[in-house]
Amino acid sequence: MNGHFREFEDEYLEMMYEFFEKQPSQRVRNGDLASALRVSPASATEMVQRLAAKGLIDYVPYKGALLTDEGMIHGQKMKRRHRLAEVFLESLSFQGNTHATACRLEHAIDDDLEVALSLLLGQPQLDPSGRDIPQASSEISSRIRSSQTQLISLERLEKGTTGTLEAMFLDDEEAHFMSQHGVLIGAQMTRTSSGYSIAGMSEANFSSDLASKLLVRISRATD
C-alpha cells in the first residue's frame, strides 16, 4: 500500500507542476485539481493537506495550493520522466495508449534509468505532443554530461560526424528499405553535406522522420 500511496502523491505533484507550467503564479483550487485527476474534491483536499504537512505544497484553504521549492523539484522530475516515457514509447511505434502507459512507466523510472533513457533518446527537448520536457536535475545533468558515449538520433548527427548505428525503431517496410541500402546495426554512419555515408562507401538520403528512428552512438573524447 505504501508504494501505491506514494504513486498517488507523485501524481498530485506532477499535476501541480502541469498547472504551474500553464500559470506559474496561480494557486490551484482543490476542485480544479480534482477535475484534472478525475477524483472527488474530498480526496483532492485530503491529499493536498497531506502533501502540505510534508512541506511539498503551500496550501491556503479557500484560496488554493502552490508547490513549494521541494515540491517543485519532485513534480518537475515526475513530469520529465512521464514525457521521456512518452518519447520512448513513440520511438517503438507503440500502438497502445501512450499517455496511460507512460503514467505507469514513470513510477518505475529511477535516476539510473532516467540517465539511460536521456542518452538513449538523444536528450529530447519535446514530447510527442510538442510540449517541453522539463530540465533534468543538476545531478542527472552532471551524470549525462560525464558519459563517455552518447546516443542520438541520426537526424541530430552533425555534418562531418560519425556514429555507430545501435538501434532502429522501424516497421517492416522501413526495415526492408534500410536493408536495401545496407544499413545494419553496427554500421558506421557519417553525416555529409548531401545525406549520409554508410561505412564510408555508399551514400543515402533519408527523410527526417526516418532518420529520427535510427540511433547512433558517438564516442566522446576524454580529457
Domains detected in the chain: 2-67 (1.10.10.10), 80-147 (1.10.10.10), 151-219 (2.30.30.90)
What pLDDT score does 1 carry? 39
- 14 near 83, Cβ under 8 Å? no
- CA quadruple 140, 215, 89, 210: dihedral sign: positive
- Establish how many alpha carbons lie within 13 A of residue 197's alpha carbon, considering only the half-sphere containing its beta carbon: 12
Of the spans 1-15, 103-117, 180-194, which averages the highest pLDDT?
103-117
Predicted confidence at residue 149, as pLDDT, reads 64
* pLDDT, tens only, 53-81: 999 999 999 999 999 999 999 999 999 99
Residue 93: its pLDDT value, please?
72
Rounded distance between C-alpha atoms, residue 88 and residue 42, angstroms: 35
pLDDT of 47 higher than 90: yes
φ, ψ (nearest 5 deg) of residue 103: -60, -35
pLDDT for 222 equals 37
Question: DSSP letter at 184?
Answer: -
Question: pLDDT value at position 3?
Answer: 56
| pLDDT at 23 (0 to 100) | 94
Average pLDDT score over the chain: 88
pLDDT per position as a tens digit, 28-38:
999 999 999 99
Residue 30 is predicted with a pLDDT of 96
**pTM of the shown model:** 0.72
- Residue percentage of the chain with pLDDT more than 70: 94
**What mean pLDDT comes out for the span 205-218?**
84
